[in-house]
Structure 1
Protein backbone atom coordinates (compact mmCIF):
# COMPACT_ATOMS: atom_id res chain seq x y z
CA UNK A 1 0.00 0.00 0.00
CA UNK A 2 1.46 3.35 -1.02
CA UNK A 3 1.76 6.29 1.32
CA UNK A 4 1.57 9.76 -0.11
CA UNK A 5 2.90 12.70 1.87
CA UNK A 6 1.27 15.87 0.61
CA UNK A 7 3.31 18.31 2.70
CA UNK A 8 6.40 19.32 0.69
CA UNK A 9 8.26 20.44 3.82
CA UNK A 10 7.89 16.96 5.31
CA UNK A 11 9.00 15.34 2.06
CA UNK A 12 12.08 17.58 2.01
CA UNK A 13 12.92 16.66 5.62
CA UNK A 14 12.62 12.95 4.86
CA UNK A 15 14.79 13.29 1.75
CA UNK A 16 17.41 15.37 3.59
CA UNK A 17 17.57 12.89 6.46
CA UNK A 18 17.78 9.95 4.06
CA UNK A 19 20.75 11.54 2.27
CA UNK A 20 22.47 12.41 5.56
CA UNK A 21 22.08 8.93 7.03
CA UNK A 22 22.47 6.87 3.86
CA UNK A 23 19.14 5.21 4.53
CA UNK A 24 16.23 4.91 2.17
CA UNK A 25 13.28 7.24 2.65
CA UNK A 26 11.24 4.24 3.74
CA UNK A 27 13.83 3.32 6.38
CA UNK A 28 13.93 6.91 7.66
CA UNK A 29 10.15 7.00 8.05
CA UNK A 30 10.14 3.54 9.66
CA UNK A 31 12.77 4.54 12.22
CA UNK A 32 10.91 7.74 13.02
CA UNK A 33 7.69 5.81 13.57
CA UNK A 34 9.47 3.20 15.72
CA UNK A 35 11.09 5.94 17.80
CA UNK A 36 7.83 7.83 18.29
CA UNK A 37 6.01 4.61 19.16
CA UNK A 38 8.56 3.66 21.81
CA UNK A 39 8.48 7.17 23.30
CA UNK A 40 4.69 7.08 23.42
CA UNK A 41 4.75 3.72 25.22
CA UNK A 42 7.33 5.03 27.69
CA UNK A 43 5.13 8.06 28.37
CA UNK A 44 2.12 5.81 28.92
CA UNK A 45 4.12 3.60 31.29
CA UNK A 46 5.31 6.70 33.16
CA UNK A 47 1.71 7.85 33.55
CA UNK A 48 0.68 4.49 34.96
CA UNK A 49 3.64 4.52 37.34
CA UNK A 50 2.76 8.02 38.53
CA UNK A 51 -0.83 6.90 39.17
CA UNK A 52 0.41 3.91 41.15
CA UNK A 53 2.75 6.07 43.22
CA UNK A 54 -0.06 8.53 43.90
CA UNK A 55 -2.18 5.65 45.21
CA UNK A 56 0.65 4.49 47.46
CA UNK A 57 1.09 8.03 48.79
CA UNK A 58 -2.54 7.96 49.95
CA UNK A 59 -1.90 4.95 52.19
CA UNK A 60 -1.56 6.36 55.71
CA UNK A 61 1.51 5.63 57.81
CA UNK A 62 0.87 3.20 60.65
CA UNK A 63 1.76 4.32 64.16
CA UNK A 64 2.79 0.76 65.04
CA UNK A 65 5.01 0.27 62.00
CA UNK A 66 8.53 -0.93 62.71
CA UNK A 67 11.55 -0.06 60.58
CA UNK A 68 14.53 -2.29 61.47
CA UNK A 69 17.01 0.03 59.74
CA UNK A 70 18.54 3.18 61.11
CA UNK A 71 18.76 6.05 58.63
CA UNK A 72 21.32 8.84 58.33
CA UNK A 73 20.59 12.53 57.73
CA UNK A 74 20.49 12.13 53.92
CA UNK A 75 18.07 9.22 53.97
CA UNK A 76 20.50 6.35 53.51
CA UNK A 77 20.58 3.28 55.75
CA UNK A 78 23.42 3.26 58.28
Structure 2
Protein backbone atom coordinates (compact mmCIF):
# COMPACT_ATOMS: atom_id res chain seq x y z
CA UNK A 1 0.00 0.00 0.00
CA UNK A 2 1.21 3.54 -0.60
CA UNK A 3 1.61 6.20 2.09
CA UNK A 4 -1.46 8.05 0.80
CA UNK A 5 -3.71 5.02 1.31
CA UNK A 6 -3.08 4.81 5.09
CA UNK A 7 -5.51 7.30 6.64
CA UNK A 8 -6.86 7.94 10.13
CA UNK A 9 -10.21 6.43 11.01
CA UNK A 10 -9.84 3.36 8.78
CA UNK A 11 -9.08 -0.25 9.71
CA UNK A 12 -6.48 -2.41 7.99
CA UNK A 13 -5.73 -6.13 8.12
CA UNK A 14 -2.58 -8.15 7.51
CA UNK A 15 -2.08 -10.63 4.66
CA UNK A 16 -3.87 -13.48 6.45
CA UNK A 17 -6.73 -11.19 7.45
CA UNK A 18 -6.54 -12.35 11.07
CA UNK A 19 -5.16 -9.18 12.65
CA UNK A 20 -7.01 -5.88 12.39
CA UNK A 21 -5.71 -2.45 13.38
CA UNK A 22 -7.66 0.82 13.49
CA UNK A 23 -5.59 3.89 12.60
CA UNK A 24 -6.13 6.74 15.09
CA UNK A 25 -3.59 9.30 13.84
CA UNK A 26 -0.91 9.67 11.19
CA UNK A 27 1.75 12.36 11.36
CA UNK A 28 5.17 13.58 12.42
CA UNK A 29 3.85 14.43 15.91
CA UNK A 30 3.16 10.77 16.82
CA UNK A 31 5.98 9.47 19.08
CA UNK A 32 7.58 6.11 18.24
CA UNK A 33 9.74 3.86 20.39
CA UNK A 34 12.33 2.45 17.97
CA UNK A 35 13.66 -0.96 19.06
CA UNK A 36 16.11 -1.48 16.20
CA UNK A 37 19.61 -0.11 15.83
CA UNK A 38 19.96 3.69 15.65
CA UNK A 39 21.50 3.44 12.16
CA UNK A 40 18.34 1.89 10.69
CA UNK A 41 15.76 4.19 12.33
CA UNK A 42 13.74 6.05 9.66
CA UNK A 43 14.00 9.45 11.38
CA UNK A 44 11.88 12.23 9.97
CA UNK A 45 9.26 9.81 8.70
CA UNK A 46 5.66 10.15 9.90
CA UNK A 47 4.32 7.62 12.36
CA UNK A 48 1.00 5.84 12.81
CA UNK A 49 -0.92 5.63 16.09
CA UNK A 50 -3.24 2.61 15.98
CA UNK A 51 -5.47 0.38 18.09
CA UNK A 52 -5.15 -3.39 17.89
CA UNK A 53 -8.81 -4.33 17.31
CA UNK A 54 -8.53 -8.05 16.60
CA UNK A 55 -5.78 -10.65 16.70
CA UNK A 56 -6.93 -14.00 15.35
CA UNK A 57 -10.13 -14.97 17.15
CA UNK A 58 -9.49 -12.53 20.00
CA UNK A 59 -11.50 -9.30 19.73
CA UNK A 60 -10.38 -6.58 22.14
CA UNK A 61 -13.19 -4.64 23.86
CA UNK A 62 -10.75 -2.01 25.11
CA UNK A 63 -7.80 -2.10 22.71
CA UNK A 64 -4.52 -0.50 23.66
CA UNK A 65 -2.85 2.15 21.50
CA UNK A 66 0.49 1.52 19.84
CA UNK A 67 2.65 3.35 17.32
CA UNK A 68 5.04 2.49 14.52
CA UNK A 69 6.61 4.25 11.58
CA UNK A 70 4.44 4.64 8.51
CA UNK A 71 6.74 2.50 6.35
CA UNK A 72 6.50 -0.39 8.84
CA UNK A 73 2.72 -0.10 9.03
CA UNK A 74 2.51 0.02 5.25
CA UNK A 75 4.57 -3.20 5.03
CA UNK A 76 2.30 -4.88 7.58
CA UNK A 77 -1.03 -3.79 6.04
CA UNK A 78 -2.28 -5.89 3.15
CA UNK A 79 -5.65 -4.23 2.60
CA UNK A 80 -8.37 -2.13 4.16
CA UNK A 81 -10.79 -4.05 6.40
TM-score interval (norm. to shorter): under 0.3
**Which one has a bigger Cα radius of gyration?**
1
Higher helix share: 1
Pick the structure with more strand per residue.
2
TM-score (norm: length of structure 1) = 0.25
Q: TM-score scaled by structure 2?
A: 0.24
Larger relative contact order (CA 8 Å, sep ≥ 6):
2
